[in-house]
């Protein structure tokens, strides 16, 4: 049985300010670094054999805390980067409401807002593709636990896709808190093969 641990990065200043980050690159703040340092030992106890990280610096800096404890070098995979929010990035909801109230209402209602915002379906498909591909690479190897360091939207959309749901057609599941994780397991020759074991754990 393969175990995938999806770990959201630590806090950034934009998280604290409740601004959308999306594909924009922002570092961890002091609280985020402390969160990563506190969470990494708990993840190390789960015995990861491989680490994959989003290339965005907030994820890479989070992954480094686990690298230091395990001696495992994280491999970057752009497919697990955060959902792009296009021109909305860097703004809070009040600012978006001033220029795009109709689109913001759609987004708050769990629908796609259109424009240059990446759809949840597109995000979920690329994340699920990455997880499936890395899972196949684990097949037949001695180690079967993989930690993927990623982002709230990428993780929730990827999970929905792996569980057979189009995230653009259903209400989204709430994103993970900073430096919390979800655990998925996969068993071959089972339908569905993926099982969500835990969510928002720290």
Query: Is 8 within any annotated ligand binding site?
Result: yes
CATH number for the domain harbouring residue 179: 3.40.50.1240
The β-bridge partners of 149 are: 7, 53
Q: How far is the C-alpha of 74 from the C-alpha of 63, rounded, in Å?
A: 7
Q: What is the C-alpha separation between 131 and 148, in angstroms, rounded?
A: 8
CA atoms within 13 A on the CB side of 103: 18
* Range with lowest mean pLDDT among 58-67, 85-94, 163-172: 163-172
Report residue 14 as tokens.
Answer: 């934009």
Q: How far is CA 94 from CA 98, 108, 116, 129, in A?
A: 7, 12, 19, 34
189 has binding-site annotation: no
pLDDT computed for residue 151 by the predictor? 98
Ramachandran class of 186: left when φ > 0, alpha when ψ lies in -120 to 50, beta otherwise: beta
**Is 15 labeled as ligand-binding?**
yes
pTM > 0.75: yes or no: yes
Q: What is the pLDDT of residue 142?
A: 63
Task: Give the C-alpha separation, 80 to 156, whole Å.
Answer: 11
Q: Catalytic residue numbers?
A: 9, 82
Q: Report the chain's mean pLDDT, rounded to a whole number.
A: 95
Q: Domain tally for the chain?
A: 1
Residue 162 among known ligand-binding residues: no
Taking the C-alpha atoms of residue 141 and residue 173, their distance in angstroms, rounded to an integer, is: 32
What domain range is 17 assigned to?
A: 2-201
pLDDT tens digits for 129-187? 999 999 988 876 666 899 999 999 999 999 999 999 999 998 888 999 999 999 999 87
C-alpha pair distances (Å), 122 with each of 126, 145, 163: 6, 26, 15
Q: Note the pLDDT of residue 170.
A: 86
116 is known to lie in a ligand binding site: no
Choose among 86, 79, 177, 85: nearest CA to 124: 79
Residue 190: predicted pLDDT = 72
Q: Is 77 annotated as a binding residue?
A: no
What integer pLDDT is reported at residue 18 of this predicted model?
96
Q: Is 14 within any annotated ligand binding site?
A: yes
């Amino acid at each position: 049985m393969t175990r995938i641990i999806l770990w959201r990065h630590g806090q950034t200043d934009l998280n604290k300010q409740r601004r959308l980050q999306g594909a924009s690159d922002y570092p961890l703040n002091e609280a985020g670094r402390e969160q990563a340092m506190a969470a990494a030992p708990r993840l190390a106890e789960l015995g990861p054999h491989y680490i994959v990280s989003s290339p965005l610096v907030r994820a890479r800096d989070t992954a480094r805390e686990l690298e230091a404890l395990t001696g495992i070098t994280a491999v970057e995979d752009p497919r697990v980067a955060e959902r792009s929010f296009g021109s909305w990035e860097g703004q809070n909801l009040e600012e978006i409401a001033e220029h795009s109230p109709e689109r913001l209402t759609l987004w708050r209602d769990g629908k796609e807002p259109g424009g240059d915002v990446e759809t949840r379906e597109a995000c979920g498909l690329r994340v699920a593709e990455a997880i499936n591909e890395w899972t196949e690479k684990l097949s037949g190897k001695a180690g079967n636990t993989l930690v993927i360091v990623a982002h709230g939207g990428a993780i929730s959309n990827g999970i929905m896709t792996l569980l057979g749901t189009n995230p653009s057609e259903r209400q989204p599941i709430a994103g993970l808190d900073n430096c919390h994780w979800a655990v998925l397991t996969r068993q071959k020759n089972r339908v569905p093969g993926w099982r969500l074991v835990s969510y928002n754990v720290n």
